A and B are shown apart, each in its own frame.
Chain A
Amino acid sequence: MRKTLLIIQREYLSRVKKKSFLLMTLLVPLLLMGMTALVAYLTHTGGDAITEIAVIDRNGNFISQLKNSRTLVFLPTSENFEAAKLTARKNGSFVLYIPENVEKGANVQLVSEKKAPMFVTNEIENQINNILRYKLLQDAGIDIETLESIKANVSIEYKELTDEGEKETNATAAYAISFAAAILIYLCLFIYGAQVMRGVIEEKTSRIVEVIISSVKPFQLMLGKIIGIGLVGLTQFLLWIVLSALATKVTSTEILPYSVLGALQTIPVGYVLVTFLIYFLGGYLLYSALFAAVGSAVDNETETQQFMFPITLPLLFTYIMAFSFIVNNPNSTLSFWLSMIPFTSPIAMMVRVPFGVPDWQLYLSVSLLIAGFICTTWVAARIYRVGILMYGKKTSYREIVKWFMYKE
């Protein structure tokens, strides 16, 4: 026990003391913030290029009613359609042709050299439809005042029934948190799992492993390494949380619009954080044991490829499922099962948590995850104890099964 603690201590300190740890801890939140700011900035300014549209209005009703938007400008043209087409071809601009008998179903044409972007066609379609509807309603004898007065304007208020009564919910915030949690868990399982693997390979190739396991059991060494690196991960998270909490305190009121903060407040942040840490730890323990087994089976990192595949597959699968399915159907049967299977639950459950998950499902899933990592650790330890002493042989899956079968 004392020796395992020693190993944990060495694995932890030797990593935390590195400059790269400090750098990662400071840089990652900065990068994340920078990226968010950049995305916000780009979406804000990037769409500002103004698209000019030459309008040939044979009908005569439309030109005066087409409204310029932030990015669209409608300009009447005296050219005929054929001439306008040529100019459009030359300048790469747009020509909108509205035929005389558009009320009777004649097609409006938008002509350009390139394909028109979606927002352009949508905007034009909307405007022309509106103008046309207005005109047809007026022609049917409804006066403008009545029309204005019956314009419906509905916005839906979302409420969630909880124990504390009705609560405002915000699906957008839940979405955002789901995405963030899924990406973070996915990345962290790989980053810290790979660290365990690299640590094992380092000990094996530098041959120190034989000295160490003449002092401690291979299982103690493996467990010490896994726990030590896991603690490094936790430390990093806690620092990130503290740092970003400080950062939002300082900057939030200026940068983040009130609506975003308000939306965040509809999500129980503490609850999400705690479940995140639990699933990160569980998933990490489950996968890092497998990473350790892979590390013990090879002589250098380039040989890891063939064994990495079965580890990467379930993670990648859940990751894709998370974005394409679970986030849209958090309470479906498939989502339920994905969040129960230990190999997929860390990502799948974190996607579901922001939308609310019944307690019993959470408990069941966590219990299964714990059972899962005890199982993988047991399997990995049996491979590890033999693998670390096998030098200079190219390992196959058959070999690994054989190692697993060796008795103590």
Chain B
Amino acid sequence: MLKIENIVKQYANHRALDNVSLEVEKGCIFGLLGPNGAGKTSLIRIINQITAPDEGAIYINGERLNPSHINTIGYLPEERGLYKKMEIGEQMLYLAQLKGLSRKDALERSNYWFEKMEMQTWWKKKVEDLSKGMQQKVQFVATVIHNPELIILDEPFSGFDPINAEVIKNEILELNKQGATIIFSTHRMESVEQLCDSIALINKSRKVLDGRLKDIKNSYRSNTYCIEYKGEELNLSGQQLFEVIRQGDLEETSQITIKLKEGIKVNDALQYLIPMAQIEQLTEVVPTINDIFIQQVRGMDYA
């Protein structure tokens, strides 16, 4: 769907993007991650044709990015904004028409979305009369009203209360199910884990990591398990199955984190442990995206 090849964006005294390449598959939810100032917004602005790259090329459905693509993209910028003194309904029609809808279609789709989001009574209101959360909702609708193939959301959940965040999340998932490709840009990793199929990590203008979320997580698995048990303190000396990373007591149970040695299965470890203790729970310790992110970014800082 979207292919980004060797993009370079140079500003007067810093390089915002340094040879970044990415590929986003059709119909997936893609997370564009990175700390503030990494270059995410610069990249998004280039995809939206707000600015142009100094080098490199972008393809949408195999076609080089050109003005005809503008109407197929919906963009929710990080810095939200609407005309404060304009009526919500008028504003929605205006923004929809700027995305290429006819006035009639714009009206039809506005009615559909206003009903869906329970905003019918807002039509004649002005933006300054709405709460911040309501404004965000209006802006979200304005982003997707023209049925874009590609939806780019920059920090979509900032500013939403938990209830509305849930509403928006469900709308995003539904749009995705209907075939829209979605790109999230965020520095808040926890929202990404639940939603994204693939991610790319950007730090200091460069892509650090990208791929399917599952593959990335798999590659960071280290055969580490956390076991919760009841019983006497374990005597683990003399075994060749794992090394103990951490050991501690909880209120009623105790906990031990182990890393299996080469070639050892988790069952082997359990068989060894079961005679000694009452096993309550076993979980694999998989690094969160946050851990991976911090590890990567720190690694770059120290390198």
Contacts and interface: CB of A to CB of B under 8 A. Distances in A.
Contacts of A6: 94, 97-98
Contact of B95 (A206, A207, A211, A408): A211
B163 interface: no
Contacts, number: 57
B81 A208 contact: yes
A14 B86 contact: yes
Contacts of B142: 211
B79 A215 contact: no
Contacts of B51: 389
A67 interface: no
A96 to B, nearest CB: 68
Contacts of B45: 389
Given A402-B12, A408-B52, A212 B79 contact: no
B153 interface: no
Contact of A10 (B79, B81, B94): B94
B77 A215 contact: no
B12 A215 contact: no
A214 B99 CA distance: 9
A215 B146 CA distance: 11
Interface in A174-223: 202-203, 206-216
A213 B86 contact: no
A210 B79 contact: yes
Given A215-B99, A389-B50, A210 B94 contact: no
Interface residues of B toward A: which range? 20 to 34
Contacts of B12: 402
A391 B50 CA distance: 15
A58 interface: no
A24 B71 CA distance: 39
A133 interface: no
B141 to A, nearest CB: 12
B99 A207 contact: no
Interface string B1-34: 0000000000010000000000000000000000
A215 B83 contact: no
A159 interface: no
Contacts of B85: 14
Contacts of B95: 211-212, 215
B42 to A, nearest CB: 10
A3 interface: yes
Interface residues of A toward B: which range? 20 to 34
A224 to B, nearest CB: 10
Contacts of B86: 14
A408 B53 CA distance: 9
Interface string B28-62: 00000000000000000100111110000000000
A10 to B, nearest CB: 6
Given A214-B73, A214-B75, A206 B98 contact: no
Contacts of A215: 70-71, 95, 98-99
B50 A207 contact: no
Nearest to A7: B98
A206 B75 contact: no
Contacts of B256: none
Interface string A1-37: 0010011001000100000000000000000000000
Contact of B81 (A7, A210, A216, A389): A210
Interface in B96-132: 97-99
B177 interface: no
B283 to A, nearest CB: 43
Interface in A311-357: none
Given A14-B86, A215-B95, A207 B81 contact: yes
Highest count of chain B CB atoms <10 Å: which of A202, A203, A215, A408: A215
A154 to B, nearest CB: 65
Contacts of B97: 6
A10 B77 CA distance: 22
B204 to A, nearest CB: 21
A297 B50 CA distance: 17
B82 interface: yes
A206 B48 contact: no
Highest count of chain A CB atoms <10 Å: which of B12, B71, B80, B81: B81
Interface string A367-408: 000000000000000000000010100000000001000001
Contacts of B98: 3, 6-7, 212, 215-216
A402 B82 CA distance: 29
Nearest to A204: B81
Given A14-B86, A214-B48, A207 B77 contact: yes
Nearest to B54: A407
B137 to A, nearest CB: 15
B64 interface: no
Contacts of A209: 81
A173 to B, nearest CB: 44
Given A210-B75, A214-B70, 12 more contacts: A14-B83, A202-B84, A206-B82, A209-B81, A210-B50, A210-B79, A211-B139, A213-B50, A215-B70, A215-B98, A389-B50, A391-B79
Top-3 shortest CB links A-B: A207-B81, A208-B81, A215-B98
Interface of A: 3, 6-7, 10, 14, 202-203, 206-216, 389, 391, 402, 408
17 contacts: A6-B97, A10-B94, A14-B86, A202-B83, A206-B81, A209-B81, A210-B77, A211-B95, A211-B139, A214-B48, A214-B49, A214-B50, A214-B77, A215-B71, A389-B45, A389-B50, A391-B79
